[in-house]
Chain A
């Protein structure tokens, strides 16, 4: 069949113009501009704000300077904190908790299911500043909810934002983001034909056996999608800033917060841009993996449909 188009090319170009302009100026241009600025000593204030000099790779050399790389508050330390944060809060915390919640949801009464979902999804949809204050109150040393519970249980209370700030943001981000994984796995599980599980029931399989031998192999594609998406989001997240401001003593300074401090607290735009370029490079690798998996899957689906 000849491809008949409803819209002439000229009309299509016109339709694409507003979106094209906005995306060009606020998505494509920043991508290239951040690379350009990262090779200069541009600052927010002073002479170099108006007339920045080209400094070559100096900003990158400073970031990767081996003598300060692992020092707290420096780039390498922030990179390590971010990697641990992504591993623990997204790949382990959100994904496993989401998987567990989704599996439990398959077997509990609808009323309980709705209540649990409300709590998990509430953590996810409320605005980040509200969540920030709620957690601030939750962790309050004197009368916060957590310390009240610990006291009631006869356990020592703690000033967790000062004593264990890194674990606070890990648990915080797990709590905040588990809803997405739960919903994704929920819809994955409900796409499995019930007859598979009924057959296993007849054979006397336990819930864990059904999970391991039937459900998990069938949702492997969803697991990969979930892991990449939550990695990308967690890697770029700025929300922990609202809880800790990157402190105390830079112990929760994720790359996004480090970038903010260098650029908007120290006013070093060139240096900040170099950090931005590295964040984008890592994003690029993650996005390419994600898109190539998506493409391979849709190609496989097309071939399956054609055969």
Chain B
């Protein structure tokens, strides 16, 4: 199709405008791209001079930093396992059984999960975790995150399972499979893509989460990366920028990788709808 002159001009105008907006969005992140490779990184913006990977060596030589990344991994993987298993089982039951009030259960769960936010419920969550004797443990962080993420995870998976024809499991049961076998051998492989999306979403939430571990954890050995990053200050109280910048980049990599994976595998709109 040939464009008329005004159409062409408006195209150019649109592109220029979009480019400017994109640049404005990128501005605050430029420092974050340069500083990790700068041996003399400071809060100011500067081209890496000299360009170096030594900041990353510093991170890997810092046992607190590495330990914190490990804690983030434990919390992320732990919560993902709990959410993955509990949400799949519950969503399957909500989709495939005839228990009364299924619709109401989903409705109430969604309502509560949006009402009971971390900002509103930090006091009772802290009190419940202390009553269970779990303050300053990874288990507490995993369970609190799992509880908070479960309603949405169940909702997404239930939608997903509702879209799968029942005839899959029915034919397996006609062939003599028990309902449990039909679930594990027939339904589960079909649901797997839905579980992958939920699991990635849950992991990104826990990995980046700040408020919950900030409130529930006390000792530096337990802290995940999101909280430990605030201990990278010199004795004078100024941030050690070289360490911080390189650490921020390492800490961000899994999120970026998972995002690219999901957008490549499922298209990013799918992922977009379910963040937060």
Question: Residues of A with Cβ closer than 8 Å to B?
Answer: 3-9, 11-13, 15-16, 18-20, 22-23, 25-31, 33-34, 37, 97, 100-101, 104-105, 107-109, 112-113, 115-116, 119-131, 133-138, 140, 142-146, 148-149, 175, 178-180, 183-184, 186-187, 206-207, 232-233, 236-239, 242, 255-256, 259-260, 263-264, 269, 272-273, 276-277, 279-280, 283-284, 286-288, 290-291
Kindly provide the distance from the CB of A302 to the nearest chain B CB, expressed in whole angstroms. 13
Kindly provide the distance from the CB of B30 to the nearest chain A CB, expressed in whole angstroms. 6
Q: Jot down 27 A-B pairs with beta carbons below 8 A, ordered by A.
A: A5-B98, A15-B89, A16-B90, A19-B87, A23-B112, A23-B151, A26-B128, A26-B146, A30-B128, A33-B127, A37-B123, A97-B21, A116-B21, A120-B25, A123-B28, A127-B208, A127-B210, A129-B226, A129-B248, A137-B45, A143-B42, A184-B272, A206-B10, A237-B119, A256-B120, A286-B114, A291-B107
The residues of B that contact A133 with a CB separation of less than 8 Å are: 32, 229, 239, 244-245, 248
What separation, in Å, do the CA atoms of A288 and B180 have in the docked complex? 37
Number of interface residues of B (CB under 8 A): 100
The residues of A that contact B248 with a CB separation of less than 8 Å are: 129-130, 133-134
CB contact between A33 and one of B92, B124, B239 (< 8 Å): that residue: B124
In contact, B89 and A287 (Cβ under 8 angstroms): no
Chain A's interface: helix, strand, loop or mixed, by majority? Answer: helix
Q: A125-B204, A280-B120, A291-B111 are in contact. Are A6 and B169 (CB under 8 A)?
A: yes
Kindly provide the distance from the CB of A119 to the nearest chain B CB, expressed in whole angstroms. 4
Q: A18-B86, A148-B44, A256-B119 are in contact. Are A288 and B111 (CB under 8 A)?
A: yes
What separation, in Å, do the CA atoms of A290 and B125 have in the docked complex? 25
Question: Residues of B with Cβ closer than 8 Å to A?
Answer: 10-11, 14-15, 17-19, 21-23, 25-32, 35, 42-46, 82, 85-87, 89-90, 92-94, 96-99, 107, 109-128, 143-144, 146-148, 150-151, 154, 166, 169-170, 173, 179-180, 182-183, 204, 207-208, 210-211, 215, 225-226, 229-230, 239, 241, 244-245, 248, 251-252, 255-256, 259, 268-269, 272-273, 275-276
